[in-house]
Amino acid sequence: MSFNLISKSFRTGLILVVFLFSSGALASSYQSEAEFFHSSTSIDPNDDYTFTGVGAAYYFAPINVDGPLAEADFLAKASGILAGITNVEYGFGATTVDGRGYLLSAKYLLPASDILLQVDYFNQNVSGSGLDMDIASTTIHFGKYLDDATLVDLSYGTGTISLTGFTDTDTSTLSITAKRLFDDVNAEIGYSRDNSDDGTTDETNSIITVEGDYYLDNTFSIGADFTNNTGDDASAEGSTLSINAVKFINDATSFEISYDSFSADSGNDSTTVAFTLSSRF
């Protein structure tokens, strides 16, 4: 499901996607989706976290499948709502913390102008071993279809990280992304400027992302993206290389697998393996 959600706009180490579970019935058009997502991250030298999410989307009008199946709602310029719940578990050496969260999102196309408006809200609690942390963020998107296959999106997000015994950290992210779908290639480029301020330390990082997907046919794609992060927060500086593959078993059911490798400039390297199962109704 192509809701442009919290992912890539709220960078706290949580990457939010929701995962869709399916009956596998054929669908030449659809109006709802369900998804299941799971990822596992290993951080040098001995830390790890897992992230699991389930969610569902409902579109205000049926989406006709015409072209690459993974791009159906983008090509349809679809409006809709999405809700999801998440579970995350962190392991810091011998210490483990976990928590639940939820996501709400809505997007609406102004048809006369091809302007796409979207609002995302995310809330996550993590606790355990004397730690209690709340993460909340709101992101507003202003998108414009330049033509039927090109979208430019400007977004601004604000958030707060509250940790027991510490001053709250305020976060903000300003991003611009451009997406262009060619006959059998999806190309995206983005730039974001992330800021965090805990009242003592004010840090800003710049993130550039380039992404591409090649469609062997309308049911199968392989892709890669590269992200470079530089700025004041040395622990976040570095580059990430990702590869992924998406396969639709039929018109309604898809499976995606991805592998990410983060090479830190001065912090800790990490790798992430993720998979998503989704279905349309």
Could you tell me how far CA 158 lies from the centroid of its own chain? 16
Dist. CA 155–CA 1, nearest whole Å: 19
Show the tokens assigned to 221: 């794609």
Q: What pLDDT, in 10s, does the model give residues 218-267? A: 999 999 999 999 999 888 999 999 999 999 999 899 999 999 999 999 87
Decide the pairing of beta strands 185-197 and 202-217.
antiparallel
Q: Give the least confident one: 9-18, 71-80, 84-93, 146-155.
A: 9-18
Residue 268: per-residue pLDDT: 87
Phi, psi of 218 (to 5 degrees): -70, -10
CATH class of the domain comprising 29-280: mainly beta
| Reported confidence tier of residue 1, pLDDT bands at 50, 70, 90 | low
Binning pLDDT at 50, 70 and 90, where does residue 6 land?
Answer: very low
Q: Is the pLDDT of residue 279 over 50?
A: yes
Percentage above 90 pLDDT, the chain? 77
Q: Which of 15-19, 30-34, 156-160, 224-228 has the lowest mean pLDDT?
A: 15-19
- In whole angstroms, give the CA distance from residue 108 to residue 10: 21
Say whether pLDDT at 93 is over 80: no
Question: Is the confidence at residue 44, as pLDDT, over 50?
Answer: yes
Gap between the Cα atoms of 2 and 110, Å rounded? 18
Average pLDDT over residues 197-201: 92
- Indicate the average pLDDT of the chain: 89
The answer, yes or no, to whether residue 11 has pLDDT greater than 50, is: no
Mean pLDDT of 137-143: 98
Spatial neighbors of 272 by CB under 8 A, at least 6 apart, are: 15, 39, 40, 41, 42, 258, 259, 260, 262
Share of the chain above pLDDT 70, in %: 90
pTM over 0.85: yes
Contact call for residues 203 and 195 (beta carbons, < 8 A): yes
